[in-house]
Structures are given as structure tokens and as C-alpha cells.
Structure 1
Amino acid sequence: MKRILITGAAGFLGSHLCDRFINEGFFVIAMDNFITGDSKNISHLLSHPNFEFIEHDVTEFISIAGKVDYILHFASPASPIDYLKIPIQTLKAGSLGTHNLLGLAKAKKARILIASTSEVYGDPLVHPQPETYYGNVSTIGPRGVYDEAKRFQESITMAYHRFHGLETRIARIFNTYGPRMRLNDGRVIPAFIGQILRRERLTVFGDGSQTRSFCYIDDQVEGIYRLLFSDYNKPVNIGNPKEITILDFAKEISKLTDNDTQLTFKQLPKDDPLQRQPDITLAKELLNWEPKVDRSEGIKKTFDYFRDLPDDVLYKKEHKSFEKHIKR
């Protein structure tokens, strides 16, 4: 039985990847320190004979007994609320954490896939964004702690590939959504759905003309799965190219209920990208992959998930794990 280590396993993406690899017949070693992850996301797997959980911070030395065939490195704060509150930890996850996992992959002779992000493109001057675009990122801006952590992550991964001959894969992940997202993590879709469920005005930053492209979790997991088993070691965009303005999306998502949802406008955050749309030509050619789930279908599934959450989750404003990590 092949063994795979998945870091950030209690997070949104990580937990869905655990499900996929369990279903594919792998033995899954899941790792998380719960700084932003939630044990509820993997509680259904704890009794599975092919699942093992290790609570650990990837920025500390990592030791795994026995063989490891594959590693998926998804341990990192990923939303603006997260990385603006815990900037040092975000930088450490992308640098020290990645270094530790690359070292583990080298020792185990394992193939490793790292979760990069569309944020490496910054506020892009090229649209849509192909993998050949080098980006427009402010190294000293508030978002730089996440953007530069991911850019460094890509660089050290390629260095290990070139210098040590390590089998590496790099997924540049664009906006992804679905069940198990944190309702109040600041990202567009859970923020809007939370406000709808609490009967609040939808908050639109700027004038709403900035664009995003939303990929449903099932499509994202499929793209990552295919990339891991491909023969390509350079970055590949995994996302949905169907672009929409935030203002149009706010109007679209407000139709989920019969309530007359109102909008409120706030100042656009510093360095917030004005455009985001993946060029997935490479993924189509290399992986024979493109998104299948229509946005209306995916949003409906996500809304149903959030609607069934208890009130204490719906009205909780911050993640409880921040306190024990904030001074590190």
C-alpha cells in the first residue's frame, strides 16, 4: 500500500485531499497543528484503518517512521485574516516548513507536491495569468508575508529538484471554495454566505470591479491528484477560468435566499489584486483537466453546508487557535 503524508490535513483543502487519497486506496498520514485547521474536518477519518494523524508544526523537525511514497505540503495560513494576524507563522510555514518537508522527501525518496498559489502573481499586469508570468508583488506590503512565502516555496522546491534530483510538483492554486471552509476566514464566498445567513449587508471592497475566478473543491482536488502523478515538475495553474466581478458575484449569490440583500462598500485593502483569472492551457494539455462543476451548482452545495452549521459557528468571529501561536 502506498503511503502519503498530507500536511495541513485538517484544513479546507487538506481534509478533502485526505478523503480522496483514502478512497484511492492509500495509507494517509495526516499532519496539522490546528493553527487554522479544524479537527472536525477529519474526525470522520480517525477510525479508518488506513489513516493516521500526527499533531505537529511543520516548521519544526519532521520525523516519520516507515516509508513515505508521496508528500502533499498544504500547511499554511491561506486567507487574508489568517496571514495578517499571524504573519511570522505564515512566512515560517512557507520557508522552514517547506525546507523540512523537502528534506523529508529527499530522505524517504518520496515525490512531493507543494501547494503554491495564484498570489505569486500579485496584482497582475498580464491577464489572464499564465505560468510564464513572473508577477507583480510588493515584498514589503501586508500581503507580502503570504505572497513571498509562496514564491520562496517555489524557488526552494525547484532548487531541490535541480540540485538533488528530487521529484517535485508545484500546484498554483486559484480561488477554491466548498464545504469545510471556515465561515469567518475573510475569503469572498464564506464571507458572503455568512452575511446572508446572519441577514447582514454584503460587504464589497472597493467598487466591486475587481475580479475573481472560483473553482469548486472537487475540481481542485482532481487537478491536484492528476498533477501529482504527472511527469511535469514546473508550476501548473489549477483553477477555474470563468471570471466574474465581485459586484456581480455579490448580486448573484444574494439570490440564494428570498431576502432583499443590501450591499455596503468599504475601502479596498492594500495590494488587493484587481484581476484574477487563470490561464489553464497547460493543465488542459498536460493533465487533460479542466473544471466540471458549474458555479451555480458549487455555490448551492457550499451554501447548504454553511446553512446547517450551528449558530455558535455562524456568529463566531475569530479562530480560537490564533492565541497560542500569535507570539511565536
Structure 2
Amino acid sequence: MKKRILITGAAGFLGSHLCDRFIKEGYRVVGMDNLITGDLKNIQHLFKLETFEFYNHDVTRFVHVPGNVDYILHFASPASPIDYLKIPIQTLKVGSLGTHNLLGLAKEKNARILIASTSEVYGDPLIHPQDESYYGNVNTIGPRGVYDEAKRFQESITMAYHRFHGLETRIARIFNTYGPRMRLNDGRVIPAFIGQALRGEDLTVFGDGMQTRSFCYVDDQVDGLYKLLLSDYALPVNIGNPDEITILDFAKEIIKLTASDQKIVFKELPKDDPLQRQPDITKARDILGWEPKVAREEGMQKTYKYFKSLSKEELLKSEHKDFSKHIRH
């Protein structure tokens, strides 16, 4: 029989790509999402498949999935500043109550579970690049704390279930990821810059633009997550691309990519915005045999092509198709 996997946050950016990958690998996929930030259009192509089913459910409530479950990927969480600052309580709940519910389900089903953590657990790091042994520099009561601390608690309770119950767990610390199906208005740097370019607006850089990020194309990220799930390693692993660039240089790349003549304008740096972000992926290389393959130039070409094809729909807020008949409650 085909292995069966539950993917929470299935209608989101990363979740939908994970659904695609596991179906391609021959799994039966159960998608779950409460659609607060996810969008059914990301998985509409899967509704026709017998190997895919979808539940509209909030994982902060008790989670029940009938039948066997071999694996769980917990990707339900707001992931952009616009989202988690708008719904801070829900962000904390999905990282705490939601994770608790899914760990309980994994225990009940004797399933292996992979938790989607984030590079945000490192906060504004005092070491560079960041490896998994670094404990982080996080402001627990700052505006970003609702996301950072939700993820840090998520890691703690996952390791508690692993040590106390012997549960098979995996923890992925995900660094900035981009590609098709990101939302133009989600507030992250790539869709923000491309959205401004498509609307003919100047590109907004916060601070002096010397803060750095490292961007990983979604296909590479999904491949790393797939390999981590099937590995025998329970401690956190960084999954990201170590190719670092300043935000100012990246804004210039976007202007060149979009062949636009926008200017770059500067605004005040948000509170607790990390000044450096670069993963040390030594563990991923050594344990998983994984490293990113897609260069930023190639990945951005694909991403821009996607956004350009959707720009009229996204910018004009065109009517969303109704896929409600495919949803299980």
C-alpha cells in the first residue's frame, strides 16, 4: 500500500509544493489548512487526483484523521511579518497548541513527524553564518516575538515528545525561500520588490540596505525537507541557500530583472529586523547529502515569470474560483 502523509498548511506556498513532491513520489497525501493565509488555488490541480484529499481545519483544535498516517509535515503557520503581526495570537497558538495536537496525532498513529521551524529562532544573530548549535538572540516581547517564540516553543515540545515518548521527529530550520505561489502582498522581500516593480512603484529598502539575506529556491527547499524527513536525524537541521546578498544589491538585481526604471527609496528599519542571515548547511551536506542547486539568477527568472503571469489577477483582485466542493470538514 502507498504510504500516507498528512501535510498541514497544505494550501500555502511551501505546503502546496510539498503536496506536489510527495504525490510525485507515490504517496497518498492528506492536505489540511484553515485557509487564513493559504489559498486553494495553490492546490486546485490536485483535487482531481485519487491520491489527494483535503480537510479545511484549524490545527489549534483537536486534529483527527481517519485511517493510517505514516508521516506528518507540520507547516501550518503564518510565515510573513504582515501575517503574524496581523494575527499574533493565532500565530502563537498554531506554534504551541497546533504543534501539541499534531505531536499527539503522530503518537497515536505511530507516525514520523517533521516540524517546520525557521531561521527566525536565531533572531538578530551575533554569530555569522548561523549553525544549529547557536541558541539565538531573540527579543521575546518584541513584535516579532510572536513568531520567533512560537517556533522556539515548537522545537522544545517536539524534542520533549522525542525524548519522553520516543516519537520519531525531525526539525527543519528553514531559511528564506522563494518561488512560484508566493503571495504578492505577503510582505516578504521578494514578492514585495516584484510587486512594487509590477505596479511601477519605487522599491522600498528598510535601513541602509546593508542587512543580508540568503534566498533558497523552493524546489531546493522541498528536496532538503524530503531528505530530512526520510533521514535518521532528530536534531534541528538548517535548510537554506548560503549564497548571501545585501538587500540593497538585491533591490538592484530586481530592477535589472524586471527591466524597470524604478528608484530605490529608504525607510526606517523595523524593530528587531535581523541584520545578517546566512545558513551554515554543513549538517545538511553531511547528513542528508543535500545542498541547493538552483542559482539565484535562474530561480528569480522563474519566480518573476510566475508573478508576471499573475499580476493582473493579483493586482486587480480578480474573482477567486470556488473549490468548496472539494473540501472536507
Band of TM-score, shorter chain: over 0.9
Q: Are 2:259 and 1:258 aligned?
A: yes
Q: Are 2:199 and 1:202 aligned?
A: no
SS at match of 1:190: helix
Give 1:260 shift.
1.4
State the alpha-carbon separation in 2 of the partners of residues 221 and 259 from structure 1. 31
Give 1:88 shift.
0.1
Q: What is the letter of the counterpart of residue 260 of structure 2?
A: N
Q: Are 2:271 and 1:270 aligned?
A: yes
Q: Are 2:214 and 1:213 aligned?
A: yes
Q: What is the letter of the counterpart of residue 70 of structure 1?
A: Y
Q: Are 2:22 and 1:24 aligned?
A: no
Q: TM-score with structure 2 length normalisation?
A: 0.95
Give 1:123 shift.
0.1
Q: What does residue 146 of structure 2 align with? A: 145
Give 1:96 shift.
0.2
State the alpha-carbon separation in 2 of the partners of residues 258 and 44 from structure 1. 32
> What are the within-5 Å matches in structure 2 for residues 265-304 of structure 1?
265-304=266-305
Q: What does residue 80 of structure 2 align with? A: 79
- Contact 2:124–2:136 (CA under 8 A) maintained in structure 1: yes
Give 1:252 shift.
1.0
State the alpha-carbon separation in 1 of the partners of residues 113 and 161 from structure 2. 11
State the alpha-carbon separation in 1 of the partners of residues 80 and 273 from structure 2. 12
State the alpha-carbon separation in 2 of the partners of residues 95 and 81 from structure 1. 20
Q: What is the letter of the counterpart of residue 259 of structure 1?
A: S
SS at match of 1:308: helix
- Contact 2:198–2:311 (CA under 8 A) maintained in structure 1: no
Q: What does residue 168 of structure 1 align with? A: 169
Q: What does residue 226 of structure 2 align with? A: 225
Q: What does residue 125 of structure 2 align with? A: 124
Identity %: 79
Give 1:253 shift.
1.3
Q: Which runs of 5+ in 1 are unaligned?
A: 317-328
Give 1:152 shift.
0.1
Taking only aligned residues, the RMSD between alpha carbons, in angstroms, comes to 1.0
Q: What does residue 311 of structure 1 align with? A: 312
Q: TM-score with structure 1 length normalisation?
A: 0.96
* Residue deviations 1:250-275 (CA, integer Å, cap 9, x gap): 00111013321211111100000000
State the alpha-carbon separation in 1 of the partners of residues 223 and 91 from structure 2. 26
Q: Which runs of 5+ in 2 are unaligned?
A: 318-329
State the alpha-carbon separation in 2 of the partners of residues 45 and 18 from structure 1. 9
State the alpha-carbon separation in 2 of the partners of residues 310 and 125 from structure 1. 39
Q: What does residue 135 of structure 1 align with? A: 136
Q: What is the letter of the counterpart of residue 242 of structure 1?
A: D
* Residue deviations 1:221-247 (CA, integer Å, cap 9, x gap): 000000000000000000000000000
State the alpha-carbon separation in 2 of the partners of residues 221 and 298 from structure 1. 14
Give 1:310 shift.
4.6
Count of residues in correspondence between the two structures: 317
Q: What is the letter of the counterpart of residue 257 of structure 1?
A: T
State the alpha-carbon separation in 1 of the partners of residues 264 and 95 from structure 2. 36
